[in-house]
Each structure stands twice: as structure tokens, then as C-alpha cells.
Structure 1
Amino acid sequence: MIYLLLTSQFITAGVFAMSAYGKVREQSGFARSLADFQVPPRLRVPVAAMVTAAEIAVVPLALVPATAVAGLALGAVLLSGFAAVIGLTLRRGTRPRCRCFGAVAAPLQGAHIVRNVVLAAIATAGGGVASTYQAVAPPIGSFVVTGVLAAVVLAAVANFDDLVEVVAPRAG
């Protein structure tokens, strides 16, 4: 179970570190992009700041053993919320570009919902383990194995739009 816990902590913290970094780097662009999600103009900057702050908070909360349950739960809630917002946006017939990691990327599609649901499930599973885990120092090997696994998953998440394009290219 320690492998599931550590892997979920590393993946969740890594996803939100990448996402928060991109949003901090492109905060004004992220705030402007909220228009595509029908956020009123006067709320765009505060919403962008709150989303960014919540993403930043997930990173240390998920990694510190004493706060791992809270960090993983916050990560799961954010990812589930993002999936819901993407679903509602797609349902309205609009396909804004995904600024999931701060930079302009491919237009939103159903695969982004699946990505977020899978990441939320990973965070939820880790939170479940963390809530029942007896605090014992894990062996160093578990950090190596889970670190490598998390790095592979994070590389896939960071290049998600490109991977989706390879698997299911858009027409035209």
C-alpha cells in the first residue's frame, strides 16, 4: 500500500506543480481564458488567482505525511471540478483551448475529462490509503520505484495533448 500512497502523492503534487507553474507564468493569459468558460469579466482575475492558489496549496499538502489526506482530497476535488467544467463547456458546443498547464494547447475535448477523472481517482485512492496508513518510515527503494513511476505518468500528463493527437488525430 505504501507504493500506491507514494505514487499518488508524487503524481498529484507533480500535476499541480506543473499546472500552477504554468498559470503563475501566464496568469493574465489564464485569467483572460476564463471568458471561454463564461466567467464574468469582473470575476476572471479573482477566479484565476483562487484556482492558482488552490493548485499551489495541493503540492506541499499532498507531499507532507501529516497533511497528505487533505492535499490528496483537495487535488481530487479540483480535478473533479475541472472535469465537470470541461464537460459543461463541451456540452455548450464550445471548444476553447486547454490552458490546463498555463500555456495555450489543443482545444478541449472529452479526453481531457478522462485525464482529469483518472488523476482524481489516483488522488482519491492515495487519500484512502493515507487515511488508514500507519506512519512507518518507508524503505528508500519505495521512493525510487514510485518516483520513477510518477515521473513516467507526469511525462505523459505534460505531453497529453500530443499523445491524444497520436492516438486519435483530429480531422483536418
Structure 2
Amino acid sequence: MSLRERTTWEGRPGLITWLPGHRPLPTETVTQVSGLCLTPDARILLVSEDGRAWSLPGGKPEDQETWEQTLRREVAEEACAEVLRWQFLGAQRVEGLTPQPYYQLRYWARVRLEAFRPAFETRHRLAVCAGEFAQRLSWGAGAIGQALLREALEAELQASSGVGPGSA
């Protein structure tokens, strides 16, 4: 079931639609691949440039890179973590912020933390319990944030029981 939320980014109004399981066509623009990354103790990994505004690890696909390769590279670069398993959750279609709509892809990932050595734009890493998800992410308490959290926790449960998600 798709969900819609209105948003504002840098003063511009936009519309975000959560599309569970939707994979954009090759002709459609994907600007971001992010992971709702869980540690072995079921904590959710967040990253930040300034220690105040938190986000999921992720970023823009590079030339000839698959979405899963983008996920693995971005989680390693931003969060100093290795993606061990993953599952595609769906796409957010973003309209109104740019002349053409674009997509942001979301994955569940099980990760192994490595020593944190800040690089690139990330200066802070935090692992929070599911209850803190909505408090730390500006969009985490919204309908899309909560749906994403539920889907990721379901993927984690399936993976823990030996069912489902892919592995690296």
C-alpha cells in the first residue's frame, strides 16, 4: 500500500510517495540508495554531518554501479560498517522539489560495525533502538518513516529465523 506525505525542502513544497517493493525503470532517476541498517544487537545505524541532524547511511549511485553495490559502498564510507545481508524494501517517489520526479530507494541491511573513522561528509555515527528511530530522524515519526521501520524490522525477523534476505 502506497503512502503519501507532503514535505518542504529548502522552502520548496514537495510530495513523497512510499511505494513498497517498487523498482524504478532504467529510464527513471534514482538519486539515493539508503539502508535501514541493523547491528547484530538489533540497533539501527544512523549517521550525521553535525551530530544534530541524523539520517540513514546512503547516497547517490555511481556510474555502472548496481543499487546493492551503492548500498554496500555508501554504508562502508559513511558508517564504517560492512553490509552482510540485505533486502530491497521499496522506493520513495519525490515530486515537486525538482523539475522531474525522482526516486530514493530503501533497503533493510544487517551490518557489522567496524572502527569508526569519520570520512567524506559523515562525522558522527549512532546506533539506536527502534524506539529512538522516530526521535532521531526528522521524518521518522511520519507514516512513511514508521512503515519503513515496520518493514525493516519484519525483514530482520525473517533473516533471524533463516528465511529470506540476500547475503553479500
TM-score range, shorter chain: under 0.3
Higher RCO (C-alpha 8 Å, min separation 6): 1
Q: Who wins on radius of gyration, i.e. which is larger?
A: 1
More strand by share: 2
TM-score (norm 2): 0.27
